[in-house]
Amino acid sequence: MLKITDLVKRYGSGGDPVLKNLDLTIEGESVVSIIGSSGAGKSTLLRCINRLVEPTSGSIVLNGTELTKLSGSNLRAARRKIGMVFQGFNLVERLTVMENVQSGRLGYISTWAAITRRYPKQDIRRAYELMERVGIAHYANTRADQLSGGERQRVGVVRALMQDPDILLADEPTASLDPKTSEQIMGLLRDLAGELKLPVLINIHNVTEAKEYTDRIVGMRYGRIIFDDLPEKLDQDAMDRIYSGSPHADRGEDPVAAQ
């Protein structure tokens, strides 16, 4: 379970916070989407969870571990359990699919094994299982720069799953893809969540895909959660509150410029 309590993120000492006393709980194998305009704080929220961005205050607890209090080796160990799928894929283009996938195990194997690419046999077997599941096993020895966008994102998904994560975060995983491929990736994330009993938290701009492929929608505006319910509850009034009007119509807050 992921439990976020009173989370605040402020850049600099004088500006408005990007995240404002935010509370959020994610349980089980649910697929949760986060929607909202640019500047709502969606990406910042995901990056606070895996500590790519340092929270200003508040609590982030994953399966009993308080992530905000960790540092050094303890933080590195905790990050192993937080898989991340990126909008821009974040692959090493000159490396093969297998080599990119195995980078998800860097937190578990020795530096020497990583440098020499002497991957443990069980990791290779697991990589082939996952690559077969997402339809890219035949590309195992193909360089990443020879793949299509959808194929690259599948590599990114497998790399994240190779961490054996307790939660999977996806930051605009379909933004660089065509509509058909976007639907395939969203369907894949939904199906994997069920198969692996894995909670998935997705930052997404496409509201139609959020409604179709996720179990729960969280709507953010100016650093606050103003909608948190089932997809069928996201009516026009909720959409207007998330995307329309002035910031003063919400909670008397000014908009923030960062996402």
| CA gap 148, 91 in Å, rounded | 12
> How much is the pTM?
0.89
Question: Running DSSP on this structure, what letter comes out for residue 6?
Answer: E
Q: What is the dihedral of CA 174, 177, 181, 182, to 10 degrees?
A: 20
Query: Cα 215 to the chain's mean position, in Å?
Result: 15
| CA gap 183, 93 in Å, rounded | 24
| CA gap 157, 78 in Å, rounded | 19
Residue 145 burial (10 A CB sphere; 0-12, 13-18, 19+): exposed
Location of structure tokens 């996720």: 214
Residue 247: the pLDDT is 46
Residue 258: the pLDDT is 38
Residue 88: the pLDDT is 87
Residue 108: the pLDDT is 84
| CA gap 117, 30 in Å, rounded | 35
Residue 10: the pLDDT is 92
Query: Read out DSSP for 168-207?
Result: EEEESTTTTS-HHHHHHHHHHHHHHHHHHT--EEEE-S-H
Consecutive 10-residue runs of the chain (259 residues): their mean pLDDT?
Answer: 96 85 92 94 95 95 95 92 92 95 88 82 96 97 96 96 96 92 96 94 96 97 96 96 63 37
